[in-house]
Amino acid sequence: MASDKDIDPNRRDFLGKATAAVGAVGVGGACWPFISSMNPSKDVKAKATSLVDLGSIPKGKTHTVEWQGKPVFVVHRTDEMIADMDDSSTKLDPQDDKDRVQKPEWLVVLGVCTHLGCVPNRTDKGWNCPCHGSVYDNSGRVVRGPAPTNLIVPHYEFIDEKKIIIGKA
């Protein structure tokens, strides 16, 4: 009868590692259906994006669209609004206007105050938050707190001259 002393230690290591590897593959295979079921469905992926027809937004007007359950402000900025952008007046969260837009005449920002999440009201100069008085300019940059940061620019793409898609497909 073979004792532990008779077993080659290298062979024992190999058997241990092989058993562990087979076990890991088995656990991975068993988990795969559960992990796969957590991927978003086609319905959910479709709601992850919002298509916006820019042709229906006159110059100087703002349309609010819903994206992932949140409001998004799409502003068709006038030449005056664009010329009015003063990059030095945004000291709370400094960012140049040109870094917040893909085309100067279109501003796209989340309509969610970065203080505590209220929906700011539109004004000629930008937005005022009704909750605690934060003020944003026509680039969505905070010019008066308590909001600590600018309105968020979501991911969006121009799919042609008159349409954007917000979010990633």
Residues noted as catalytic: 132
Beta carbon of residue 64, minimum distance to ligand FES (angstroms, whole number): 16
Which segment (30-38, 41-49, 63-71, 108-116) binds ligand FES by CB under 6 A?
108-116
Under the binding rule (CB under 6 A), the answer on residue 147 touching ligand FES is yes
Instruction: Report the residue number, 101 or 129, with the smaller CB distance to ligand FES.
Output: 129
Please state the separation of Cα 21 from the chain's center in Å: 39
Residue with Cβ nearer ligand FES (146 or 154): 146
CB of 32 to ligand FES, least distance (A): 43
Residue 95 and residue 87: Cα distance in Å, rounded?
7
Q: Within its chain, how far is the Cα of 111 from the centroid? A: 13
- Contact status, residue 150 vs residue 143, Cβ threshold 8 Å: no
Taking the C-alpha atoms of residue 152 and residue 162, their distance in angstroms, rounded to an integer, is 22
